[in-house]
Structure 1
Amino acid sequence: MTTIAMGAGMMPIALGLGVDPSFRAPMAIVVIGGLITSTFLSLLVIPVVFTGIDDLMTLGGRWLRRGRGSAPVSGTPSA
């Protein structure tokens, strides 16, 4: 919601509706682009990367446990 409010607030400046748009319009466009990029990264890319790393660690743990194995049992069980 904050991203939407900030983007909507910067839109008139980006469109050049304020005073001295030659200086402020490029800055507003960059701010809006940064907001969109950071929102995309924080809501989609970061969780996907974390999930991928977690899956790799789980797979690596299984692989390490399988590689060790258990010692073979020999002889008769004691009662």
Structure 2
Amino acid sequence: MTEIDVVVPRWGLTMDDATFVGWLVQVGDTVGEGEALAEVETDKTTADLPSPAAGVVTATLVAAGDEVVPGQVVGRIAAGPAAPAT
């Protein structure tokens, strides 16, 4: 399987950093593309960090309360089929 990085996006022109609120999934969880993986708080909003691909969460690289920056890798997904929605 191909490993895909979960990266903090730049949500605004002035976004320099953000606070990682926490993971909504755990290592080993199967996720769908676009599914919310975590929450990130900027100076203006709290937003969901979507999965870049369907697959299995293989790594969570930051913890709640950590400062993160746009482009930072915060987790990894092993790309593959996601479990069907229930």
Query: So what's the TM-score if we normalise by structure 2?
Result: 0.19
- The structure whose Rg is larger is 1
Q: Which has the higher contact order (CA 8 A, sep 6+)?
A: 2
Task: Pick the structure with more helix per residue.
Answer: 1
Task: Pick the structure with more strand per residue.
Answer: 2
Query: So what's the TM-score if we normalise by structure 1?
Result: 0.20
